[in-house]
Amino acid sequence: MNRAALFDVDGTLADTNHLHVTCWWEALRQAGHSVAMHDIHRAVGLPSEDLLRHLLGDDRDPSQDEALSTAHDTLYGTYFDRLPGLDRAADLLRELDRRDWRVVLVTSAGSSELGALRRAVAADDAIAATASSDDVEKGKPAPDPVSHALGLAGAAAHDAVFVGDTVWDMKAATRAGVTAVGLLSGGIPRHDLEEAGAGAVYRHPADLLHNLDNSPFSGVPERTGK
């Protein structure tokens, strides 16, 4: 079995959460919905349909979902050539790869968005695979994306660590039986991440890299006999 280092991308490896907030706010505003940016921020990380259900409720007109999602994607797409990776994010992935971890991205991003994010992070040489909500029936906070990522990595849950920045990430990881690590770089408070299941919380990728030897990653022994 392998060891798996599973990573969310938005807010975890790339500094993009507030861009998503702005684009969702504008998409909703154009469609006549008034939603506070604070509420949108708390919903970032959910697949589009779940995000809209979370923000607008079950009594919304679901026939508008696709148009709202398309509007968000169009607005967000204008930033694709300048999405900012978080400091030392690439170094963190490469260091884990050097230590024989299988690095897998676990994201709700579509293919074109994911391509832009991977360019922003600039660590393709360290990434073994990618799992998205498109690959499973249910996205985060369901455990399905994390379980799918474990399969891609060829790893058991107890041989994996998941790093994310939202409560949805923490819930998905813990429901899949994987140790969850939270980052504050997405703007979600430490208390919320810990309450959702984070076993440890760091400020950003650089902080986790600096403390890697004392992090939950150090608690998973190296596998032999590969």
Q: What is the pLDDT of residue 133?
A: 74
What is the residue type of 106? Answer: V
Q: What is the pLDDT of residue 159?
A: 98
Q: What is the pLDDT of residue 225?
A: 52
Q: Please indicate, yes or no, whether the overall pTM of this predicted structure exceeds 0.75.
A: yes
Q: What is the pLDDT of residue 223?
A: 74
Beta bridge partners of 155: 2
The CATH number assigned to the domain with range 17-78 reads 1.10.150
CA-CA distance, 108 to 91, in Å (whole number)?
23
Residue 177 DSSP symbol: T
**What 3-state DSSP class applies to 25?**
helix
**Superfamily in which the 2-15+84-219 domain is placed by CATH:** HAD superfamily/HAD-like (3.40.50.1000)
Q: What is the pLDDT of residue 125?
A: 98
Q: What is the pLDDT of residue 226?
A: 46
Q: What is the pLDDT of residue 134?
A: 79
Specify whether the CB–CB gap between 136 and 148 falls below 8 A. Answer: yes
**What 3-state DSSP class applies to 138?**
coil
Domain spans in the chain, listed from the N-terminal domain onward? 2-15+84-219, 17-78
Q: Which helix (H) or strand (E) element contains residue 130? A: strand 127-132
Computed on alpha carbons and rounded to an integer, the radius of gyration of the chain in Å comes to 17
Q: What is the pLDDT of residue 44?
A: 97
Weakly modelled stretches of the chain, pLDDT under 50: 226
Sequence-ordered alpha helix ranges (H) in 99-143: 111-121
Specify whether the CB–CB gap between 73 and 19 falls below 8 A. Answer: no
Q: Which of 212, 107, 224, 86 is nearest to 161 (CA)?
A: 212
CA-CA distance, 110 to 132, in Å (whole number)?
8
Q: What is the pLDDT of residue 224?
A: 64
Q: What is the pLDDT of residue 162?
A: 98
